Structure 1
Amino acid sequence: MAAYNKTDLERRMAGSIDALHHDLQGLRTGRASVSLLDPVQIEVYGARMPINQIATVSVPEPRMISVQVWDKTNVGPVDKAIRAAGLGLNPIVDGQTLRLPIPELTEERRKELAKLASKYAEGARIAARNVRRDGMDTLKADEKKGEISEDERKRHETDVQKLTDKTIADIDSLASSKEKEILGK
């Protein structure tokens, strides 16, 4: 087992926040955003590819996403992938361009999306707690091997806990602001 490394724990905690940020970007709030299509994977050329590798995604107006597909043979697979992504979007095909009108969110759909944001946040909290557990286990192992004293272990454990508390607070803040955005408050 590796020795305690505070920088590595900070990097891993930041990773849980970054992952949550990415997940939350994919949640629709009633406004068009190019990041809304980030989770969409298209089956083309015998592989699954993100949409930004086979098309240009833009937002020409607040409630419309435009997808300009580079190769006309990929228009069908892109249309199919967007419809199957569970985003509630129905593309309008116009040549090599797909227009995606962003419908108003119903109250029920807003609540579902808010619950999904909460679920993503809980996943990030669990990831942060797992990093904390790994850090604490490493500290105990280092003490057992005689590499650090009991006082050092306790001091480092306090640092790990403070880092965890800050990370959880950041996760809660991100989730709360996204839920407010979704619910229109």
Structure 2
Amino acid sequence: MNEEIDFILDSAKESMEEAIKHLKKQLTNIRAGKANPAMLSSVMVEYYGTMTPLNQVSNVNTPDARTLTIQPFEKTMFKEIEKGIMNANLGFNPMNNGESVIINVPPLTEERRLQLSKQAKAEAEEAKIGVRNDRRTAMNEIKKADLPEDVQKDTEDEIQKLTDSFIVEIDRINTIKEKEIMTV
């Protein structure tokens, strides 16, 4: 019986940790005003007929807070890289100087910062929904497990405490990201 409870708790915790990982990944795609190679993580380029992530055909660097440089491994990739950046619809205008592709990251306007902040809040809310769904699944498993009433109640309380701790963590991550976005 204890093994069953441990299994339910472990799988709930694992699922909730996945929600946190997913949130962190989504938040790295939201730019916070300064250049970051992760901004281009969604860019795909055509490489010998196959769509390939940009970071597999080039080096992406940030020489300063407002500039991204992309150095392709092959000189023939300049046009494809520029096309991939434009197709990714990130709002960047790539420039080719013959040796690398340069992107000047424009400073964020107050309006854009507020939009990005709302987007980050929406991502955090999605993560909270995921955690709550994981809680519901675990609670249903406990009800099905045919446990004594006091053990069932204790386990449900434990699941709720676990859920609350993950919700607090999501709020903490979101607060950090919003502060990062709103900092000029």
* TM-score normalised to structure 2 length: 0.89
Shift of 1:96: 4.8
- Match of 2:121? 118
Q: Which residue matches 2:156? A: 157
Deviation string, structure 1 residues 36-83 (Cα, Å, up to 9, x no partner)? 112223343343322211111111112111111113333223212222
Task: Name the structure 2 match of 1:107.
Answer: 110
User: Whole-Å Cα distance in 2 between the matches of residues 79 and 123 of structure 1?
Assistant: 33
Q: How does 1:114-153 map to 2 (within 5 A)?
A: 114-143=117-146, 148-153=147-152
Trace 1:4-153 onto structure 2 (pairs within 5 A): 4=5, 5=7, 6-143=9-146, 148-153=147-152
Task: Give 1:184's aligned residue.
Answer: 183
Partners of 2:73 and 2:181 in 1: CA distance: 32
Letter of the 1:100 partner, please give it: I
Structure 1 residue 99, shift from structure 2 partner: 0.9
Q: Which stretch of the first structure deviates more once superposed, 80-89 or 5-14?
A: 80-89
Paired AA for residue 27 in structure 1: I
> Helix, strand or coil: the match of 2:92?
coil
Deviation of 1:131 after TM superposition, in Å, equals: 0.9
Q: Does 1:170 align with 2:169?
A: yes
The one-letter code sitting in structure 1 at the alignment partner of 2:38 is S
Q: Cα–Cα, structure 1 residues 71 and 22, in superposed 2: closer, same or farther, change >3 Å? A: same
Q: Which structure 2 segments of 5+ residues have no match?
A: none
> Judging changes above 3 Å, is the alpha-carbon distance between structure 1 residues 35 and 150 closer, same or farther for their aligned structure 2 residues?
same
The RMSD of aligned alpha carbons is 1.7
Partner Cα distance (1:85, 1:182) in 2: 21
For structure 1, the 5+ residue unaligned runs are none
Q: Structure 2 CA distance, aligned partners of 1:63 and 1:78?
A: 19
Cα distance in 2 for partners of 1:142, 1:43 equals 52
Greater alpha carbon shift after TM alignment, 87-96 vs 101-110: 87-96
Mapped to 2, the partners of 1:51 and 1:163 lie a distance apart of 38
Number of matched pairs = 179
Question: For the structure 1 residues 174 and 82, does the alpha-carbon distance in structure 2 shift closer, same or farther, using more than 3 Å as the test?
Answer: same
Q: Measure the CA separation in 2 of the matches of 1:16 and 1:42.
A: 29
